Amino acid sequence: MAEHYQIKFLDKSKETLDSQEMADVINQTHTLKHIRGNFLDYIIETELIIQVIIENYMLHKKSNLKGVLRTNILNKMTLSQKIEVLLEIVNEKKGLNNKDEKSLKSYLSSLRKERNKWAHGVIHYKQEKKGKKIKKIKFQSYLNWLSDGNEKETKLTNGYFDDLTNKFKENKKFLVKILVRRKLLPKQYLSV
């Protein structure tokens, strides 16, 4: 079975993992893969909402061209291109006030970057030194990815995941505002 993670020990470490510690790393990896799947599902949902908004602004609701727009244009666009089109539409149609529009742009840009990290990154673990002596091996998880040809990493902590969750919620709040204004959702969704 191919391993989808790496374990990096401290330099010159003679440590090895016992079966319990290895099980812990495998369990952590399983949890992170579940988180990755949930995150990518959220991005797909966001992308579909963006497509609905673009479609709604670009075509009359009774248009017979919805399938053509979806198949030949929207489904061939990257997430970045869809975000650019959405932001141009929102700006042109004054779909949000300036403050909300800037926030939406920031959140969407951040989510796009996070999506690329998670879609193309590799989970790895580093043995971290706690004080002067290591009594028990403890590994910290990281996400490793390439950005402009350079290797980068993000430390996967509760704070990092809390920040991602907040970005999800804020992003969705702005998209729901647009859907409500376009009468694609009832006003009750603004209070959810």
Query: What's the token pair of residue 109?
Result: 């840009």
**8 Å CB contact between 112 and 124:** no
Give this prediction's pTM.
0.79
CA-only gyration radius of the chain, Å: 21
Question: What residue segments make up the domains of the chain, in order of their start?
Answer: 5-191
* Per-residue confidence in pLDDT tens, the chain, 192 aa: 345 555 555 455 566 667 877 787 788 888 888 888 888 888 999 999 999 999 999 988 888 888 889 888 999 999 999 999 999 999 998 878 899 999 999 999 998 888 888 888 888 888 776 656 655 556 788 898 888 889 999 999 989 999 988 888 888 888 999 999 898 899 888 876
Query: What's the token pair of residue 35?
Result: 């988180």
112: three-class secondary structure by DSSP: helix
State the CB neighbour count (10 A cutoff) for residue 18.
Answer: 10
